[in-house]
Structure 1
Amino acid sequence: MADLTPTRLAQRPQLSEEVADHVRTRIMSGEVRPGDFIRLDETAAGLGVSVTPVREALLTLRGEGLVDLVPRRGYLVSPMSRQDIEDIFWLQAELSKRIIDRAIPRYEAETLEHHSHLIDDFEAASAAGDTDGVVRAQYAIHRSINRVSCSDKLSRFLGNAARYMPYRLYAQDPAWRANALEDNRRMLEALRAADVDAAHAVVDDEFSAGAQLLVEHLDRAGVWDEAREPEAAAQA
C-alpha cells in the first residue's frame, strides 16, 4: 500500500497541483473508494495547508473525472471500473510507442550512455529499498526518452495520462522493481540496436503488467461497484 503519511506542503510551489497529486494517488491506490467523501478540512489539516488549494485541487480532479461534486455535501470519489484502468494503461502504451518511434533514430552514443547511467540509478535505488529514489529514477528514464524524441506535445499528453499511476505503490513492490529493472535494460538494448519491434514489446510488457498489478490491488481494496454490492445489499 502506498505510504500516505501526511506531509507539510505549505512551502511547496504549485501547491494545488501537489494536493491534487496527493488525492489522486489516494484514489488510484484504493485508499479512498468510490462513494467516499473527500473532506476539505481533513485533507487540508493532514497536509498542513489551507482549504483553498485543496478546493482548487478537487476542482482539477473533478475535471479528470475522479471526483464528483454533490451540492451542499462536498466532493465524493467517482465510480471506477477495471476498464478505466485498462484504458489508462493502453493509452500510455500507445503514446509511448509513438514516442519511441521518434526517439530511436535520434539516439547517439552520448545519449545512450546517459540512459545507461539512469538505469544504474534505478538499480541502486531499488537495491537500497529507496521508494522515492525508485520513483525519481523511473521518471528520469522515461523523461530521457521523451526528450530525445523531440515530441513535446505528445510527451505532455503522456504525462497527463501518467498522473493516474500511483507510482509509490509500484516502487514499494520488490517484484515490480525487479521486473522494471529488467524492462529498463531490455529497452536500453533495443535503443542501442535501433530495434523498434523490441522496444514496442518492452512497452507492451511494461504497461500490461502495470495494469494487471493495479487491477489486482484494487480488487483487494474492493473499489469496483460489484465488490460493494453485497455491502450495500446488507445495509438495505
Structure 2
Amino acid sequence: MLDDLEQTGAGRARKRVGTDLLAADVHARLRSRILTFEIKPGTRLVEDEISAAMNVGRTPVREALLRLQGEGLVSRERGWVVESTDAATIDRVFESRVAIEGYATRVAAGRAGPDDVRELQGLVDAMDGFESMSRTALNQLNRRFHERIVGLSGNPFFVEMHERTQFHYWNMRLPVLFTREQAQLTNDQHRRILAALAAGDADAAERHARAHIETTHRIVRDALEE
C-alpha cells in the first residue's frame, strides 16, 4: 500500500510540474502580447478561448492569468480584462521609473562592455536625427536605449519591473509632442548617461539617469496641465 501511495504521490508531482510548465508558457506568451500591445488594453480574456487557442487546459490558463493579475497587467471583474492605465497615475509611473532605472543604470555602469557602449552610442546618434523621423521611430529608439541599459544590469527582476512601468507609460498614449529644444535636451541627457556608463562611473550613471527621467516627467506633466 505504501508503494501505491508513493507512486500516486509521484504521479501528482509530475502532473504538478507539467501544469507549472504549461502555466509558465501561457504566461510568457500572453505577457509578451500584452506588453507589445498585440492584445490591446481593455480586451477581455476568456479562459476557454485561450485554452483552445494555445491547446492547453483551463488550469494552466487560470494560473497564468492570476500571475498576470499579480503583475498588474490584467484585472478580474466579471471576467479577465487587460488593464488600462489612467493618465492620473502618471506620477506613480515616473516615480517607479526613477527608482528602477536609476539603480539599474548604476549597476549597468559596472557591467557594460565596449560593444554595449557602441550599441548605445548608435542609438543616441540615431536619435539626433529626431527632426527628420516620425514620433513612432523616435519612441522606438528611445525605448530601446532604456531597455538595453536596464538589461545590462544583468538583473531579471529589474527587467521585469521596467517592462511593467513601460507598459503603463505607453498604455497611457500620452498626447505629448516634445519641442525641438526638449528633444535635444533629452538626447543630451542620454549622452551624459552613456558617458558615465563608458567610464564605469556608477554614481554619475545613476545621477544622470534619474535626472533624465525627472526631466521627462516634468515635460509630460507640464504638457498635460496646459
TM-score normalized by the length of structure 1: 0.58
List alignment gaps of at least 5 residues for structure 2.
1-31, 51-67
CA distance in 2, matches of 1:65, 1:148: 24
- d(CA) in 2 for partners of 1:91, 1:15: 22
What residue in structure 2 maps to residue 96 of structure 1? Answer: 101
1:193 match: 199
Once residues 161 and 176 of structure 2 are traced to their aligned partners in structure 1, the CA distance between those partners, rounded to angstroms, is 23
Aligned mates of 1:39, 1:95 — CA distance in 2: 28
Deviations 1:67-118, CA, capped at 9 Å, x for gaps: 996x8xx99x88764xx32222111111112211221111222221121111
What is the aligned partner in structure 1 of residue 116 from structure 2? 111
Pick from 127, 144, 151 the counterpart of residue 122 of structure 1. 127
Show the counterpart of 2:157: 153
1-structure distance, mates of 2:94, 2:145: 18
SS at match of 1:165: helix
For each residue in 1:32-82, what CA deviation from the matched residue of structure 2 results, as whole angstroms up to 9, or x when unmatched?
xxxxxx799xxxxxxxxxxx99xxxxxx89x8499996x8xx99x88764x
Residues 89 and 208, structure 1, Cα contact 8 Å, conserved in 2: yes
Aligned residue for 1:184? 190
Q: Give the aligned residue type for 1:213.
A: I
Residue of structure 1 equivalent to 2:178: 173
In structure 1, distance between residues paired with 2:34 and 2:210: 33
- Whether the 8 Å CA contact 1:21–1:163 is kept in 2: the answer is no
Contact in 1 for aligned 2:94/2:214 (Cα 8 Å): yes
Partner in structure 2 of residue 214 of structure 1: 220
Mapped to 1, the partners of 2:85 and 2:141 lie a distance apart of 31
Query: Is 1:162–2:171 an aligned residue pair?
Result: no
For 1:33-112, list aligned pairs within 5 A: 64=72, 81=88, 84-112=89-117
Matched position secondary structure for 2:206: helix
Following superposition, the deviation at residue 137 of structure 1 comes to 0.6
Q: How many pairs align? A: 175
Q: 2-side partners of 1:172 and 1:179: how far apart?
A: 14
Aligned mates of 2:203, 2:179 — CA distance in 1: 28
Structure 1 partner of 2:210: 204
CA distance in 2, matches of 1:108, 1:20: 33
RMSD across aligned positions (CA) = 4.0
Q: What TM-score do you get using the length of structure 2 for normalisation?
A: 0.60
Instruction: Please tell me the residue identity of whatever aligns with 2:151.
Output: R
Say whether the 8 Å CA contact 2:35–2:163 is kept in structure 1: no
Query: How far apart, in 1, do the equivalents of 2:85 and 2:124 lie?
Result: 37
Q: State the percentage of identical aligned residues.
A: 13
Aligned mates of 2:147, 2:109 — CA distance in 1: 14
